[in-house]
């Protein structure tokens, strides 16, 4: 059980709150790059701050949403070659938050320094790996991590899932991999009206091992004394799944009761008429555009589990995130063995928040350019997880990754684009070539 003060401290993400200040030490993905190609300015809410993100002739900008003049909503501003112009009275702002023009003021008072005395909030933005990243903390900004997985051969898709609950209760799912045995495995059988087979994997022990950027999870299953590695989690807000990096999920707090999960999935293998084929490194494409879509998680207990709970792994997690409400009351919990990872995470968040409050550098902030080059992560070489085999057709289908790892709702045109790209990548390859090489 967590005390009320800790519960509150864990939930808050605004500037000035302990965990809010901690989160401001990391680059956060706030949109997909393609979204700004489709619409050059859009509102963004992150860590409780209302901002607008735009793309002008010089690159990207991220500034306060409300015009300092009369609080006009700058989501409706016009993007110019350099900066954005408020549609209300034409004030022009650049990516540094400077006011460059005030048309009528300058016409009437050409010598006035009014515009030089007006500034708006502004944060740096970087484009990388198909995503746009923001840093909301004090200068100098650290380096944007260069994970090796960003270079996996295959085809990459991004999904941004809006979830109406606090970010910590979503992270806690990654620190509790025992839940796969129940939420994703057994429940899948029940959801599909199938009997749970007598012998399904069962956890007998688990442990977490520390490394530089986070932790890896290992489990023991009934009938074996071997530690099986499964999950890699990066501090403070990234799920790196098996550690290979072709599947990464950033948990980005919008505010205390809303979160966006940013999934970045590189499909590394594809089903052909002859069998599943891996994309070899030699066929790495220069994918210039990473397609992206948005989805919204919801849970309606009156209506019961919707159909996609029985076919999509990510959907099943909605129940664990949203079931306890937008902000779980941690004073009512009764924690036991399965929750050791969660307690470890909560302790670490508060401990690292203290490090920041005392002027220190928290874990996993990267500043050394030598270190920041295609960083590989420890984890499982192959999937030791329990993959919810109660889902119909989960094994061996060409669209297995969409169902297992991306939120429901992928638009048909993106699915088609991915299918065509993947078919082209694996064309002419023998289905078993990679198996022989791995042995
Ligand atoms: Fe899960």
DSSP of 271-337, one letter per residue?
Answer: EETTEEEEPPGGG--------EEEEE----TTT-S-GGGGT-HHHHHHHHHHTT-SS--GGG----G
Question: What's the gap in Å between 318 CA and the centre of ligand 1?
Answer: 9
H/E stretch holding 415 reads helix 412-426
Ligand 1 center from residue 179 Cα (angstroms): 6
- Whether 253 shows a pLDDT value over 90: the answer reads yes
3-state secondary structure of 70: coil
Q: Kindly give the distance from the C-alpha atom of residue 192 to the centroid of ligand 1, in angstroms, as a whole number.
A: 17
**Per-residue pLDDT band at 2 (split at 50, 70, 90):** low
What number is the average pLDDT over the span 71-82? 98
Span from the CA of 206 to the centroid of ligand 1 (angstroms): 16
Separation between Cα atoms, residue 436 and residue 439, nearest integer Å: 5
Three-state DSSP state, 268: coil
Per-residue pLDDT at 437 exceeds 90: no
User: What's the distance, CA 202 to chain centroid?
Assistant: 29
* Ligand 1 mean position, distance from CA 420 (Å): 29
Closest CA to 31 of 111, 165, 133: 133
Residue 263 has pLDDT above 70, yes or no: yes
CA–CA dist 147, 230 (Å, integer): 18
Tokens of 118: 């007006």
Span from the CA of 180 to the centroid of ligand 1 (angstroms): 6
What is the average per-residue pLDDT within 195-209? 92
The residue among 408, 437, 357 whose CA lies nearest residue 19 is 357
311 CA distance to ligand 1 middle (Å) = 13
State the distance from the centre of ligand 1 to the C-alpha of 163, rounded, in angstroms: 14
Give the single-character DSSP code of 66. Answer: B
User: 150-168 as b/e, with b when 16 or more CB fall inside 10 Å?
Assistant: bebbbbbbbbbbebbbbbb
Q: How far is the CA of 261 from the centre of ligand 1 (A)?
A: 13
Ligand 1: centre distance to CA 316 (Å) = 7
Burial 43-81 (b: 16+ CB within 10 A, else e): ebebbbbbbbbbbbeeebbbbbbbbbbeebebbebebbe
Region 98-103: mean pLDDT is: 98
- Condensed to tens digits (0 to 9), the pLDDT of residues 274-317 reads 788 888 888 877 788 999 999 999 999 999 999 999 989 899 99
Cα of 44 vs centre of ligand 1, distance in Å, is: 27
The confidence score (pLDDT) of residue 282 equals: 87
> What pLDDT does residue 18 have?
97
pLDDT at 72 over 70: yes
Degrees, nearest 5: CA angle 100-102-107 = 125
* pLDDT confidence band for 364 (50 / 70 / 90): very high
Long-range contact set of residues 248-254: C-beta below 8 Å, sequence gap at least 24:
248/147, 248/149, 250/28, 250/29, 251/167, 251/170, 251/171, 252/28, 252/29, 252/30, 252/46, 252/167, 253/13, 253/23, 253/46, 253/47, 253/48, 253/166, 253/167, 254/45, 254/46, 254/48, 254/162
Task: Write down the pLDDT at residue 262.
Answer: 98
* Cα Rg of the chain (Å, integer): 23
Cα-to-centroid distance, 184 and ligand 1 (Å)? 6
Residue-level pLDDT at 111: 96
* 175 alpha carbon – ligand 1 mean position (Å): 10
The pLDDT of residue 439 is 39
Determine the distance separating the centroid of ligand 1 and the alpha carbon of 204, expressed in angstroms. Answer: 19
- Higher pLDDT residue, 432 or 254? 254
CA 317–ligand 1 middle distance (angstroms)? 5
3-state secondary structure of 7: helix
Residue 265 has pLDDT above 90, yes or no: yes
- Distance from Cα 5 to the centre of ligand 1, integer Å: 28
Every domain of the chain and the residues it spans: 34-134, 148-438
Q: What is the pLDDT of residue 177?
A: 87
How far apart are alpha carbons 257 and 326 in whole angstroms?
5
What is the CA(38)–ligand 1 centre distance, in A?
32
308, two tokens: 């996609």
Which residues are placed with Cβ below 5 angstroms of ligand 1, an ion?
Answer: 317
**Per-residue pLDDT averaged across 119-123, rounded?**
97
What share of the chain in percent tops pLDDT 70? Answer: 93
For residue 321, report the distance from its CA to the centre of ligand 1, in Å: 9
> What is the secondary structure of 387-408 as a DSSP string?
--TTSTTTTT-TTHHHHHHS-S
Task: Assess whether pLDDT exceeds 80 at residue 205.
Answer: yes
Residue 438 pLDDT class (50, 70, 90 cuts): very low
Tokens of 104: 């009528």
Residue scoring higher pLDDT (77 or 399): 77
* Interval between CA 122 and ligand 1 midpoint (Å): 36
Which of helix, strand or coil describes residue 44?
strand
- Domain 34-134 sits in which CATH superfamily? Rieske [2Fe-2S] iron-sulphur domain (2.102.10.10)
Q: What is the pLDDT of residues 134-185, one digit of tens each?
A: 999 999 999 999 999 999 999 999 999 999 999 999 999 999 989 999 999 9
Question: What is the average pLDDT score of the chain?
Answer: 92
Q: Ligand 1 centroid vs 277 CA: distance in angstroms?
A: 27
- Expressed in angstroms and rounded, the spacing between residue 19 Cα and the centre of ligand 1 is 24
Whether 238 contacts 364, CB under 8 Å: no
DSSP structure string for 86-134: -TTT--EE-TTSBEEE-HHHHHH-TT--GGGG-B--EE-EEEETTEEEE
| pLDDT score recorded for residue 277 | 85
Distance 176 CA to ligand 1 centre (A): 8
pLDDT confidence of residue 392: 67
Q: Determine the pLDDT at residue 281.
A: 86
Distance 236 CA to ligand 1 centre (A): 18
- Low-confidence winner among 137-141, 204-208, 246-250, 433-437 (lowest mean pLDDT): 433-437
Whole-number Å distance, alpha carbon 386 to ligand 1 midpoint, is 10
Residue-level pLDDT at 386: 63
Quote the ligand 1 centre to 271 CA distance (angstroms). 25
pLDDT at 396: 46
The CA 358 to ligand 1 mean position distance, Å, reads: 35
For residue 388, pLDDT beyond 80: no
Cα(188) to centroid(ligand 1), Å: 12
């Amino acid at each position: 059980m967590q005390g009320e003060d800790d519960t509150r401290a864990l939930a808050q993400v605004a500037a000035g709150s302990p965990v809010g200040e901690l989160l401001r030490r990391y680059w956060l993905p706030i949109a997909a790059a393609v979204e700004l190609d489709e619409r050059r300015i859009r509102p963004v809410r992150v860590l409780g701050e209302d901002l607008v993100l735009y793309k002008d002739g010089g690159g990207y900008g991220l500034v306060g949403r409300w015009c300092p003049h009369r609080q006009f909503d700058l989501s409706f501003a016009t993007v110019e070659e350099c900066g954005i112009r408020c549609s209300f009275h034409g004030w022009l702002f650049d990516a540094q938050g400077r006011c460059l023009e005030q048309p009528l003021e300058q016409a009437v008072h050409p010598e006035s320094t009014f515009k030089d005395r007006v500034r708006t909030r502004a944060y740096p933005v970087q484009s990388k790996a198909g995503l746009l990243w923001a840093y909301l903390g004090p200068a100098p900004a650290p380096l944007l991590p260069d994970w090796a997985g960003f270079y996996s051969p295959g085809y990459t898709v991004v999904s941004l899932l809006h979830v109406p609950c606090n970010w910590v209760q979503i992270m806690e799912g990654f620190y509790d991999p025992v839940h796969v045995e129940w939420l994703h495995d057994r429940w899948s059988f029940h959801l599909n009206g199938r009997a749970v087979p007598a012998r399904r994997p069962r956890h007998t022990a688990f442990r977490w091992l520390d490394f530089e950027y986070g932790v890896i999870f290992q489990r023991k299953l009934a009938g074996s004394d071997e530690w099986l590695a499964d999950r890699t989690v990066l501090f403070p807000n990234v799920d790196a799944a098996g550690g290979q990096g072709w599947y990464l999920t950033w948990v980005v707090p919008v505010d205390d009761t809303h979160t966006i999960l940013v999934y970045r999935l590189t499909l590394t293998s594809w089903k052909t008429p002859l069998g599943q084929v891996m994309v070899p490194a030699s066929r790495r494409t220069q994918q210039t555009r990473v397609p992206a879509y948005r989805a919204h998680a919801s849970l309606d207990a009156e209506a019961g589990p919707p159909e996609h709970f029985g076919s999509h792994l990510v959907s099943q997690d909605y129940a664990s995130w949203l079931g306890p409400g937008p902000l779980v009351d941690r004073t009512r919990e009764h924690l036991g063995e399965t929750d050791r990872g969660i307690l470890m995470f909560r302790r670490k968040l508060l401990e690292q928040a203290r490090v920041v409050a005392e002027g220190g550098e928290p874990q996993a902030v990267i500043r050394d350019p030598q270190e920041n080059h295609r960083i590989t992560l420890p984890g499982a070489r192959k999937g030791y997880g329990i993959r919810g085999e109660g889902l119909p057709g989960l094994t061996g289908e060409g669209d297995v990754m969409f169902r297992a790892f991306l939120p429901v709702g992928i638009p048909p045109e993106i699915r088609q684009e991915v299918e065509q790209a993947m078919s082209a990548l694996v064309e002419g390859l023998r289905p078993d070539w990679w198996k022989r090489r791995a042995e």
